Amino acid sequence: MTFEQRQHNAIAEWKALDEKPCIYVGAATCGRASGALKLIESVNKELKKNRLAANMIEVGCIGLCYAEPLIDIAGADGVRVSYRNVTTEMIPQLINEHLINNNPVAALALGVVGSSKISGIPNLFDLPVLKPQERIALRNCGYIDPENINHYIASDGYRGLKRALKMSPDEVIEEVKISGLRGRGGAGFPTAVKWQFCRKAPGDEKYLICNADEGDPGAFMDRALLESDPHSVLEGMLIGAYAIGTTMGYIYIRSEYPLAITRLKIALGAMEDYGLLGDNILGSDFNFHIKVKIGAGAFVCGEETAMLFSIEGKRSVPRSRPPFPASSGLWGKPTNINNVETWANVSAIFDKSGEWYAGYGTEKSKGTKIFALAGKINNTGLIEVPMGITLGEIIYDIGGGIPDDKEFKAIQTGGPSGGCLPKAALDLPVDYEQLAAAGSIMGSGGMIVADTDTCMVDIARYFLTFTQNESCGKCVLCREGTMQMLEILTDITQGKGNSSDIERLLELAEAVKIGSLCALGGTAPNPVLTTIKYFRPEYETHINEKKCPARVCKALISFYVSPDKCKGCMACLKACPVGVIKGKSKMIHIINQEGCIRCGVCLDVCPPKFKAIAKVTGSLP
């Protein structure tokens, strides 16, 4: 069968979905964690009960994690409505109303997918959370069945590869150059330049790697892409392999992502069946094979030289560069490494054009970037926005602001290698250069929002605990320096800090930066440096007054029952895990501070109408 025939069949299969009502269940990891699989059972039961003929497909993640689990229902008229925070109890109503009575349930709906209008339900892409977004890498996520290659092909999939194969490898690289694409893994190195190096490197045996070792805590775009649209990534790899001139590729994926691994393997199997992988791809003389390598839990493997050692079956300890992997990588052969999101952009660029892609973004940072919004923000999830959008637009327009109307305090970008930016940075346009100038980095695109209940010293300590733990131990300053910094930070959060600590931290931070071979150590001090830069008074309060203004650091806070508010309801007394709350029914309770472990359960369980428990720092009132 030719590819055109397959394309034809795929489009027919996709269109046939409209002939029957169809239910789309968002079943990526986050959807599943919110109960998507139970919804599938429940939908099936309900369809059977009502003897309805309908299709049900599992789709990936559209990125609106706050609204999970999501299901879309398309009735006989083909109009697809997305429903949010669906529970099994809602299923009978949704099936009944939407599918039988043809009456979409506005009260439970999030939006209408596509351009049809339904009164009372907004169009999905008119929602504030989606309107500013430009979905290029995430183009199919949440729409198609990631386990069905036909869905991808019907959505213009593999057209880019066809186009690329008609070009010469140099023309392909030129097209990437025109697009202005830079590596989405963190460092932002121009993709075309990287490819060119590897293409020009002498030798016939070359390798290509997809870095799916998404280790940054707080970043989950690569997982979502692989779970929701694996072919977009794989098509990008094929185009890259053709341009560079390699026949062997690896996908290095972390073991914490079992669903992504499963879907990748299904996708690879389908590609082989369709002649998109192996020898003579699409009838050309281009050959390419892909192996999946599963990581074993080492953050440092995200560093490219460390990853190479891991694939070779060794300890993943970074080495000095040069030689860069482009000239001497896997088993000493020229190797090109790009991350998942970069590859997904490549396939989009070749489906449209480099020029089209360069139409998005800023002068030096072209295109779009996926960010993972989490922490103290209303609309948690994945977003894809054009470069140059401001942090304020991301947090307030797309993210919907801070829960409980609390005040914004800081945004942490770029994971453990990044930094915390204060309120003044809300007007900062997001691109590689601007973030770097502010002391943070783009990194893989994690964004954690902090409100006034977040302690910046604790955040710095948290990240340092992470990097200290993940340091491979090769460079003395990374291994020992981060340890010393962590000890100082721990002392500060425990009220044992002294006045010279801040200076010592700054001095150590510089030393760790200079004395580390790889980016893990080179950037590990960033969270400490930026929190000192922007939130120095908070450090000083910890050190001088032994107080934690955000009331987070356990050694510096106490829980206290306000005698005038306590009604003696016994809720806290029963919940206290260490039994240090004393009192009787209808008698004011007292917390024995000696034995209190400051877990905060009492505060959680105290009925909101009483609000009798206070969390205080410093001396008790």
Partner 1 sequence: MREAIKQFTKSRENLIPILQEIQKAEKYLPPEAIYEVSRFLNLSENEIYSIATFYAQFRFARPGEHIIKICLGTACHVRGGINILESIERKLNVQAGGTTKDGKFSLERVACVGCCALAPVVIVDEDVHSKMTMKKVETFLGPLLTGSKKKVKMKKINDF
User: In the range 312-341, which residues lie near partner 1 by CB under 8 A?
Assistant: 312-316
Nearest residue (CB) to partner 1, 349 versus 561: 561
Told to check if 214 binds partner 1 by CB under 8 A, we report: yes
Q: What is the DSSP letter of 23?
A: E
Q: Please, which residue, 436 or 575, has the CB nearer to partner 1?
A: 575
In degrees and rounded to multiples of 5, residue 214 shows phi and psi of -70, 90
Smallest distance from partner 1 to CB 597, Å: 8
Question: By CB neighbour count within 10 A (0-12 exposed, 13-18 middle, 19+ buried), where does 316 fall?
Answer: buried
The count of residues interacting with partner 1 (CB under 8 A) is 71
Treating both helix axes as pointing N-terminal to C-terminal, what angle do 191-200 and 230-244 enclose, rounded to 10 degrees? 40
To partner 1, the closest distance from the beta carbon of 89 in angstroms equals 18
Residue 584 found at the interface with partner 1 (CB under 8 A): yes
In the complex with partner 1, the residue whose CB is nearer, 240 or 446, is 446
Decide the pairing of beta strands 590-591 and 446-451: unpaired
C-beta of 216 vs 235, nearer to partner 1: 216
Q: Give the footprint of partner 1 on residues 288-307 (CB under 8 A).
A: 293-299
83 forms bridges with which residues in the sheet? 71, 109
Cα–Cα dist 553/580, whole Å:
20
Smallest gap, in angstroms, from Cβ of residue 577 to partner 1? 5
Pick from 459, 508, 509, 519 the residue near partner 1 by CB under 8 A: 459
Residue 77's closest CA among 122, 143, 22? Answer: 22
For residue 123, the number of C-alpha atoms closer than 13 Å in the C-beta half-sphere is 7
With contact defined as beta carbons under 8 Å apart, do 344 and 364 qualify?
A: no
Rule CB under 8 A: is residue 229 a binding residue for partner 1?
A: no
- Our finding on whether 608 is near partner 1 (CB under 8 A) is no
227 vs 501 by CB, closer to partner 1: 227
Nearest CA among 583, 613, 619, 218 for reference residue 414: 218
d(CA 183, CA 252): 16
Interface stretch with partner 1, choices 168-176, 204-212, 437-445, 595-603 (CB under 8 A)? 595-603
217 is a site residue for partner 1 (CB under 8 A) = yes
Antiparallel, parallel or unpaired: β 289-294 and 248-253: parallel
Q: Output the smallest distance, CB 503 to partner 1, in A.
A: 27
Q: Which is nearer to partner 1, 120 or 313 (CB)?
A: 313
Distance CA 314, CA 322 (A): 20
Structure tokens at 405: 């109307």
Q: Which residues make beta-bridge pairs with 555?
A: none
23 counts as binding partner 1 under rule CB under 8 A: no
Instruction: Please count the CA atoms within 13 angstroms of the CA of 315 that sit on its side-chain side.
Output: 7
In the block, tokens 């090109």 appear at 336
Minimum Å distance from CB 224 to partner 1?
8
- 143 near partner 1, judged by CB under 8 A: no
Selected binder of partner 1 within 27, 225, 373, 571 (CB under 8 A): 373
Cβ atoms of 491 and 497 within 8 Å: the answer is yes
Residue 488 corresponds to which tokens in the numbers above? Answer: 């100082």
Residue span binding partner 1 (CB under 8 A) among the ranges 131-139, 267-275, 492-500, 574-582: 574-582
| Closer CB to partner 1, 157 or 318, in the complex | 318
Q: Which of 372, 460, 509, 591 binds partner 1 (CB under 8 A)?
A: 372
Of positions 310, 336, 338, 347, contacts partner 1 by CB under 8 A: 310
Binding piece for partner 1, criterion CB under 8 A, among 28-36, 72-80, 93-101, 107-115: 28-36
Instruction: Verify binding: residue 218, partner 1, rule CB under 8 A.
Output: yes
- Token pair of 11, please? 């489009």
Give start and end residues of each alpha helix (H) in 117-208.
149-154, 159-166, 169-179, 191-200
Q: Which of 46, 304, 470, 501: binder of partner 1 (CB under 8 A)?
A: 470
Cα gap 341→229, rounded to integer Å: 11
Determine if 182 is a binding residue for partner 1 (CB under 8 A): no
Q: Which of 14, 152, 220, 432 binds partner 1 (CB under 8 A)?
A: 220
Q: Measured from the CB atom, is 154 or 225 closer to partner 1?
A: 225
Binding test (CB under 8 A) with partner 1, winner from 40, 86, 411, 472: 472
The residue within the footprint of partner 1, chosen from 283, 537, 579, 607 (CB under 8 A), is 579
CB of 22 to partner 1, least distance (A): 26
**Contacts (Cβ under 8 Å, ≥6 apart) of 130:** 64, 111, 124
**φ and ψ at residue 290, rounded to 5 degrees:** -130, 130
CA distances from 43 to 19, 37, 99 (A): 19, 10, 12
Q: Which of residues 65-124 bind partner 1 (CB under 8 A)?
A: 65-66, 68
Scan residues 387-416 and list those touching partner 1 (CB under 8 A).
Answer: 412, 415
